[in-house]
């Protein structure tokens, strides 16, 4: 280090007295300043930027009230919020995923009323078949809810009747006669709650989960924000078509161990998000072996199970465990009824576990994210209408496939290739040709252009922790066909602009 | 070759999963078990255990049923979803919740406070129940190892809601019967010092107003003292006002919101209010809770973290319809208050005629009963012994004060709103018999 040399001069007495006093002073002053700034940043984050001018409908706090609150500060300083909250606030403000969501929420596209608004392609929600469910409710809604009376306090992990209905529904969705036991289910207000609950049950503060990357952009928050679990990335590469390799898994585990990180489990998403890959039977068995060898848990996030299509077969962990007597205790699966029924607003998640101790703890934790009684009544009625369910599954699947094919084909016409996908509500596109510079910076620059110039909210690969720059996730399941044309036109303009620059 | 039976590796769970910080092993929950095993029914099981340990409001249920039957379009969303503005939907996707629902909740909260406080819909963050709201606020206001100060006696569920997954501690603010369990500045300071002596950072005070289990509102002067205390210490104040609509006489409830408005929101950024529809509206099954905060950062952070505890749009639409029907809400609030007051008077009278006094209450779904004269020993053990007798001999599930962390033994919380009037009479009859038996026994014992 360069500092050592002049200090050596001090020791050896060469012009040392001068440098000997200046350098340590300078260092001292520098460190003071550095730590003071860090402390300042840590303890009192800069005041929030003034709220943007409210559109028709102000999503931000009323300006007048905000101003009253922001100005007269108590002499002791602003009221403290936890380290956790500060981190959430910072991420919300800076992270592209959340910035994009916010912009799309504040300035949403509408064909007639807001044609220059932001088109939302960043949410992995499916509303393609929402109309079918709405029609059903319109025709049957009243009896569906009132027929059973408003419920008083009930088991907060879901009505048994609903669990039974779900046990009958999931095999229909997977198109296989798989057996689900209602007593192994905990129903939650959204799949995010199910992940949160498992994070609290399977690992302690500061422990880690292995997660193949690229992964869902919301995982960082879902897993870390409350339970404080670290994610150890298991990178998948385009050269492998982003498929998971057990070698990579092993390597990541060992490296984590060397760093002193305690790995408590692995979270796999199948079909994967954002790439849409299915894990085959052999890989699933390898994962079970791996987990057994390391004595860790497996969380199988199967929230996109019903969207699996194409030539490859969707294999659920439940199928694997039907054969394996051992190791069931370490496996926990998550489903999303809102995804399967194309009603993202319903927020219904299913935690399915073979571990009785986990179920006991999870049932207690379900109190913090329990499902609304009328929503449960409604779902019981819908799911019991097996004819409707059958028809729905068919139509929904067709619409998903059609939208996927259309979207990917049109991207291809623009020169943008996507990895082949077997499921999910999105496609994984290689936009590296449009990057001004190859790297994370270039990727974020493109993301910014897409959001603020083209006005489409897509998710950059870096938000998914993809190690290769230039990949973007496009969610297309909240679009109409007309919307797709608009999206493509906007991308074409960006593409043309980029080409004309080079 | 023999079959090799591999000994399965036992995979570990987290400390949180195996701990009992959830507090569900306490007598509060054990009593529920006795009820579950042998529940009272007027016709089919008249000698079963009567549930008086559940703070649920069933006295005005008929009004709700009637409303829903007459307004069936609310349940099918009617105009709701299809015509819901595209902007509303867009915000919904970013966890803001439906504006119509938040506006309806805000106006309902204003109605309950006799329009003495204003609530902005954009400051409302919705959660799946007050349980979730309290836990989420704790995550936001405190780090693991920090503490919240909570006046005793308090709702037993707080042990779980505020501590279990958050790692935050509760340091009690001791209150006693000498001044009707009111919070005093000395008690506040005492609790703060106790935390300091344990090297624990205090992040806030959490009060319930009206109080559970006391069934009494906090006086304006006390609220002002608490506000002064939290401002001086630069900490937060969480006011859980979930029983605000269940105060028998509307003028007796003062919300911290009113005090803040009166002083033009000075220092308001440290105050947060929790509300839910489970108690006032008797809709616990709906799982509807809210955090109302005067602190911008807390609002945006809570909103972002509400992803962990959501309410379906369908429920929001239904409630938006119902709560924005001012005729209905006015009728409901008025009738509910009246019926609760009558119930309260019935039980107080019934107990008094047996020589049992209760704390003077004015709200909530329960009364705070003083059974200390009946204790063999004025200790926690004495209280639990009496409680056991009440559960197993009298067949009433009531909540012992020790499970509420009350420092004085002999107090019990008795719920009166989750049963019919007939059942309440049966319960009072059983208490009369029990008390007579004890008194006769004591007299007989004394005369030997």
Judged against a pLDDT cut of 70, whether residue A145 lies above it is answered with: no
Residue B77 contacts A, CB cutoff 8 Å? yes
Q: Are residues B129 and A66, on separate chains, in Cβ contact within 8 Å?
A: no
**Residue B88: per-residue pLDDT:** 77
- Per-residue pLDDT, A327: 82
Q: What average pLDDT does this structure show over A317-339? A: 90
Residue with the bigger pLDDT between A91 and A69: it is A91
Residues A85, A87, A92, A96, Cα dihedral to 10°: -170
For residues A422 and A277, the answer to whether their CB atoms sit within 8 Å is yes
Interval A52-68 mean pLDDT: 39
Confidence category of residue B408, pLDDT binned at 50, 70, 90? very high
| Residues 322-381 (B) with a CB less than 8 A from some CB of A | none
Mean pLDDT of B394-410: 95
Which one is predicted more confidently, A36 or B133? Answer: B133
Mean pLDDT of A406-429: 96
* Chain B residues closer than 8 Å to A369 by CB: 128, 132, 308-310
Q: List phi, psi (to 5°) of A484.
A: -60, -45
What pLDDT is recorded for position A72?
40
Give the tens place of pLDDT for each residue, A362-378. Answer: 999 999 999 998 899 89
- Regarding predicted confidence, which is higher, A22 or A235? A235
**Cβ separation B314–A370 shorter than 8 A:** no
The least confident of A138-142, A493-497, B3-7, B92-96 is B3-7
Contact: A372, B286; criterion CB under 8 Å:
yes
- Are the C-beta atoms of residues B230 and B191 closer than 8 Å to each other? no
Residue owning tokens 């507090």: B23
Assigned token pair, B164: 């279990």
What integer pLDDT is reported at residue A473 of this predicted model?
98
CB contact under 8 A, B301 and A105: no
Average pLDDT estimate for A460-469: 97
Note the Cα A287 to chain centre separation in Å.
22
DSSP B119-145: --GGGEEEESSHHHHHHHHHHHH--TT
Contacts of B410 (CB under 8 A, 6+ apart): B370, B371, B372, B373, B374, B375, B378, B382, B383, B386, B401
- Whether B242 is a known active-site residue: answer yes
- Least confident interval from A428-437, A481-490, B12-21, B136-145: B12-21
CB B310 within 8 A of CB A375: no
Task: Judge: A137–B77 Cβ closer than 8 Å, yes or no.
Answer: yes
With contact defined as beta carbons under 8 Å apart, do A257 and A263 qualify? Answer: yes
Q: Which residue of B has its CA nearest to A156?
A: B285
pLDDT digits (tens, 9 = 90+) for B383-392: 999 999 999 9
Extended strands (E) in B264-356: 271-276, 289-293
**A89/B297 touch (CB, cutoff 8 Å), yes or no:** yes
* CB contact residues (below 8 A), chain B span 94-123, against chain A: 94, 96, 99, 120, 122-123
pLDDT of B114 higher than 60: yes
pLDDT digits (tens, 9 = 90+) for B157-203: 999 999 999 999 999 999 999 999 999 999 999 999 999 999 999 99
State which residue of chain A sits closest to B121, comparing Cα positions. Answer: A61
Question: In this predicted model, what pLDDT tens digit does every residue of A148-179 receive, in sequence order?
Answer: 555 556 788 999 999 999 999 999 999 999 99
pLDDT range class, residue B91, cuts 50, 70, 90: confident
Backbone angles phi, psi at A335, to 5 degrees: -120, 165
The pTM for the full model equals 0.88
- Quote the ipTM score: 0.90
Of the listed ranges A423-427, A498-502, B54-58, B345-349, the one predicted with least confidence:
A498-502
Distance in angstroms (rounded) separating the CA atoms of residues A74 and A409 = 59
The verdict on B142 touching A (C-beta cutoff 8 Å) is: yes
DSSP letter for each residue of B15-37: HHHH--TT-TTSHHHHHHHHHHH
A42/B342: higher pLDDT: B342
- CA dihedral (A37, A39, A41, A47) in degrees, to 10, reads -110
Place of tokens 């105050």: B271
pLDDT tens readout for residues B222-232: 999 999 999 99
pLDDT at A36 over 50: no
Q: Is B240 a catalytic residue?
A: yes
Predicted pLDDT at A49? 37
Question: Where does CATH 3.90.1150.10 sit in chain B?
Answer: 27-62+329-438
Instruction: State the pLDDT confidence band at A38, using cuts at 50, 70 and 90.
Output: very low
Chains A, B: CB contacts within 8 A come to 286
Q: Which residues contact B381 (CB under 8 A, 6 or more apart)?
A: none
Domain(s) labelled CATH 3.40.640.10 in chain B stretch across 86-328
pLDDT at A23 > cutoff 70: no
Q: How much is the pLDDT for A212?
A: 98
Question: Rounded mean pLDDT of chain A?
Answer: 85
* Structure letter (DSSP) for residue A315: -
Closest CA to B259 of B219, B232, B298, B296: B219
Contacts of B321 in chain A (CB under 8 A): none
Q: Which domains can be identified in chain A, with CATH numbers?
A: 87-128+397-501 (3.90.1150.10), 155-389 (3.40.640.10)
Peptide linkage before B256 cis (omega within 30 of 0) = no
Please determine, for residue B136, whether its predicted confidence score (pLDDT) is greater than 70.
yes
Give percent of chain A above pLDDT 90: 73
Q: How far apart are CA A305 and CA A335, in angstroms?
A: 8
What is the distance in angstroms between the Cα of B109 and the nearest Cα belonging to chain A? 18
Provide the 3-class DSSP secondary structure of residue B177. helix
**What per-residue confidence (pLDDT) applies to B77?**
54
Q: Do A74 and B313 touch (CB under 8 A)?
A: no
Q: Count other C-beta atoms under 10 Å from residue B110's C-beta.
A: 15
Active-site residue, selected from the candidate residues B155, B192, B292, B332: B155
* Residue B174 contacts residue B182 (beta carbons within 8 Å): no
Q: Is the CB of residue B89 less than 8 Å away from at least one CB of chain A?
A: yes
Residue A234 DSSP class:
E
Is B27-62+329-438 assigned to CATH 3.30.2130.10? Answer: no
CATH of B86-328, one of 3.40.640.10, 3.40.1050.10, 3.50.50.60, 1.10.579.10: 3.40.640.10
Find the closest chain B residue to A191 by CA distance: B308
- The per-residue pLDDT for range B287-328, each reduced to its tens digit, is 899 999 999 999 999 999 998 988 988 889 889 999 999 999
Contact present, A461 and A237 (Cβ < 8 Å): no
Residue A280 backbone phi and psi in degrees, to 5:
-80, 170
Question: Which of the two residues, A62 and A240, has the higher pLDDT score?
Answer: A240
Q: Which of B50, B169, B235, B279 is catalytic?
A: B279
Supply the DSSP symbol for B286.
G
Mutation for B interface: A368, A377, A380, A477, most B CBs within 10 A: A368
The per-type count for chain B, helices as H runs and strands as E runs, is 17, 13
């Amino acid at each position: 280090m360069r500092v050592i040399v002049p200090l050596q001069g001090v020791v050896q007495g060469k012009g040392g007295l001068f440098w000997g006093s200046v350098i340590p002073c300078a260092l001292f002053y520098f460190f003071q300043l550095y730590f003071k700034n860090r402390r300042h940043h840590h303890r009192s984050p800069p005041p929030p930027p003034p709220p943007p001018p409210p559109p028709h409908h102000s999503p931000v706090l009323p300006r007048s009230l905000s101003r009253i609150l922001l100005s007269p500060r108590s002499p002791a300083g602003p009221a403290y919020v936890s380290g956790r909250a500060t981190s959430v606030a910072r991420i919300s403000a800076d992270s592209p995923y959340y910035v994009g969501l916010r912009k799309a929420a504040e300035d949403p596209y509408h064909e007639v009323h807001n044609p220059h608004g932001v088109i939302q392609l960043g949410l992995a929600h499916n509303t393609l078949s929402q109309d079918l469910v709405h029609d059903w409710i319109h025709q049957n809604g009243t009896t569906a809810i009132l027929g059973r009376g408003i419920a008083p306090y009930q088991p907060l992990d879901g009505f048994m009747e609903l669990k039974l209905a779900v046990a009958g529904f999931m095999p229909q969705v997977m198109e296989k006669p798989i057996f689900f036991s209602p007593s192994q289910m905990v129903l939650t207000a959204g799949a995010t709650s199910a992940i949160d609950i498992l994070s609290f049950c399977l690992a302690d503060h500061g422990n880690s989960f292995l997660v193949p990357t690229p992964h869902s952009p919301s995982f960082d928050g879902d897993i870390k924000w409350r339970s404080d679990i670290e994610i150890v990335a298991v990178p998948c590469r385009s050269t492998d078509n982003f498929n998971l390799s057990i070698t990579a898994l092993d390597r990541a585990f060992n490296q984590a161990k060397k760093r002193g990180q305690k790995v408590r489990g692995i979270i796999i998403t199948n079909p994967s998000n954002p790439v849409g890959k299915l894990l085959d039977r052999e890989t699933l068995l390898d994962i079970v072996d791996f987990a057994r060898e390391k004595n860790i848990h497996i969380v199988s996030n199967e929230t996109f199970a019903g969207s699996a299509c194409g030539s490859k077969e969707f294999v659920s962990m439940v199928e694997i465990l039907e054969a394996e007597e051992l190791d069931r205790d370490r496996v926990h699966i998550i489903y999303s009824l809102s995804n399967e029924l194309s009603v993202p607003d319903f927020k219904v998640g299913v935690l399915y576990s073979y571990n009785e101790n986990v179920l006991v703890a999870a049932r207690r934790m379900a109190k913090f994210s329990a499902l609304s009684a009328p929503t449960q009544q409604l779902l019981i009625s819908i799911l019991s209408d097996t004819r409707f369910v059958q028809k729905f599954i068919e139509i929904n699947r067709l619409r998903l496939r059609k939208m996927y094919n259309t979207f990917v084909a049109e991207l291809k016409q623009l020169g943008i290739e996507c990895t082949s996908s077997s499921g999910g509500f999105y496609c994984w596109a290689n936009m590296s040709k449009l990057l001004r510079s190859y790297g994370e910076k270039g990727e974020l620059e493109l993301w910014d252009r897409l959001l603020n110039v083209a006005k489409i909210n897509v998710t950059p690969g870096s938000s998914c922790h993809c190690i290769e720059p230039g990949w973007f996730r496009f969610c297309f399941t909240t679009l109409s066909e007309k919307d797709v044309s608009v999206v493509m036109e906007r991308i074409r303009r960006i593409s043309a602009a980029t080409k004309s620059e080079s | 070759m023999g079959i090799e039976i591999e000994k399965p590796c036992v995979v570990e769970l987290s400390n949180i999963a195996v701990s009992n910080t959830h507090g569900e092993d306490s007598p509060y929950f054990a009593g529920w078990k006795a009820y579950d095993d042998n529940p009272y029914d007027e016709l089919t099981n008249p000698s079963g255990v009567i549930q008086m340990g559940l703070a649920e409001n069933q006295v005005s249920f008929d009004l709700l049923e009637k409303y829903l039957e007459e307004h069936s379009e609310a349940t099918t969303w009617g105009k709701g979803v299809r015509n819901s503005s595209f902007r509303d939907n867009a915000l919904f996707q970013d966890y803001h919740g439906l504006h119509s629902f938040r506006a309806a909740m805000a106006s309902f909260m204003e109605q309950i406070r006799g329009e003495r406080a204003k609530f902005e819909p954009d400051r409302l963050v919705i959660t799946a129940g007050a349980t979730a709201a309290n836990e989420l606020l704790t995550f936001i206001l405190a780090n693991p190892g920090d503490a919240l100060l909570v006046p005793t006696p308090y709702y037993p569920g707080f042990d779980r809601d505020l501590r279990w997954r958050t790692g935050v501690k509760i340091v009690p603010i001791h209150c006693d019967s000498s001044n009707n369990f009111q919070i005093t500045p000395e008690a506040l300071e005492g609790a703060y010092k106790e935390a300091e002596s344990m090297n624990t950072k205090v992040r806030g005070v959490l009060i319930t107003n009206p109080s559970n289990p006391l069934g009494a509102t906090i006086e304006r002067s006390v609220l002002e003292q608490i506000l002064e205390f939290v401002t001086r210490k630069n900490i937060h104040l969480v006011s859980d006002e979930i029983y605000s609509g269940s105060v028998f006489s509307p003028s007796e409830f003062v919300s911290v919101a009113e005090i803040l408005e009166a002083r033009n929101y000075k220092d308001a950024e440290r105050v947060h209010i929790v509300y839910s529809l489970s108690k006032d509206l008797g809709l616990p099954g709906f799982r509807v809770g809210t955090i109302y905060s005067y602190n911008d950062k807390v609002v945006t952070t809570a909103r972002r973290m509400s992803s962990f505890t959501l309410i379906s749009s369908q429920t929001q639409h239904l409630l938006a319809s119902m709560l924005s029907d001012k005729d209905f809400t006015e009728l409901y609030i008025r009738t509910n208050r009246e019926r609760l007051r009558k119930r309260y008077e019935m039980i107080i009278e019934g107990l008094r005629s047996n020589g049992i006094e209760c704390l003077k209450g004015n709200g909530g779904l329960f009364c705070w009963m003083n059974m200390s004269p009946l204790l063999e020993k004025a200790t926690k053990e004495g209280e639990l012994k009496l409680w056991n007798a009440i559960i197993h001999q009298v067949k009433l599930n009531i909540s012992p004060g020790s499970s509420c962390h009350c420092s004085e033994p002999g107090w019990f919380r008795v719920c009166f709103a989750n049963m019919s009037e007939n059942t309440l009479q049966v319960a009072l009859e059983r208490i009369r018999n029990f008390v007579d038996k004890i008194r006769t026994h004591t007299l007989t014992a004394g005369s030997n």
